[in-house]
């Protein structure tokens, strides 16, 4: 499967991004990473904030490639685009983020207290690594586009 196939299936729509839009998304990631590391916030909320940062990083990838997820399953498709953009070796990362998406939905909508500090810290660590990779990718592959 490719992003072009996703577009044909109606799962994506074309999107023209800009340096300002990508810069704003990186600022959201910076804010969320900072907030997620606060120890005076519940583990559930820290996890949710870190998840949002990861989602924004995947959004940056998708926008730089010229696409945006359709509203139906938007988070799922945005996350699943990660290996399509950065390579199939990132399939486990997409699976991890999908598990995080499901957990985030539980703590956001169903019940509180199901996330530990170590789970939040693990996701924060993952997001920091992904942030470095996405930043490098944007500079290397898309600095002239956005």
Dist CA 138 CA 92 (whole Å): 21
Q: What is the pLDDT of residue 71?
A: 85
Q: What is the pLDDT of residue 146?
A: 60
Q: What is the pLDDT of residue 1?
A: 78
Residue 88 neighbours by CB under 8 Å, 6+ apart = none
Residue 100 neighbours by CB under 8 Å, 6+ apart = 47, 51, 54, 123
Q: What is the pLDDT of residue 144?
A: 62
Q: What is the pLDDT of residues 13-33, one digit of tens each?
A: 999 999 999 999 999 999 999
Residue 103 neighbours by CB under 8 Å, 6+ apart = 47, 114, 115, 119
* Under-50 pLDDT residues of the chain: none
Burial class (CB in 10 A: 0-12, 13-18, 19+), 44: buried
Dist CA 80 CA 43 (whole Å): 25
Domains of the chain: 18-142 (1.20.120.330)
């Amino acid at each position: 499967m490719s992003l072009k196939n996703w577009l044909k299936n109606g799962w994506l729509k074309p999107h023209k991004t800009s340096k300002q839009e990508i810069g704003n998304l990186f600022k959201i990631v910076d804010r969320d990473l900072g907030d997620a590391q606060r120890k005076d916030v519940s583990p559930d909320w820290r996890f949710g904030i870190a998840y949002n940062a990861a989602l924004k990083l995947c959004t940056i990838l998708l926008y730089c490639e010229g696409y945006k997820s359709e509203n139906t399953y938007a988070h799922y498709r945005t996350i699943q685009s990660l290996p399509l953009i950065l390579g199939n070796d990132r399939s486990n990362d997409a699976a991890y983020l999908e598990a995080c998406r499901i957990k985030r939905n539980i703590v956001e909508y169903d019940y509180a207290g199901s996330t530990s500090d170590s789970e939040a810290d693990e996701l924060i660590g993952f997001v920091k690594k992904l942030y470095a990779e996405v930043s490098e990718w944007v500079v290397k592959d898309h600095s002239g586009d956005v």
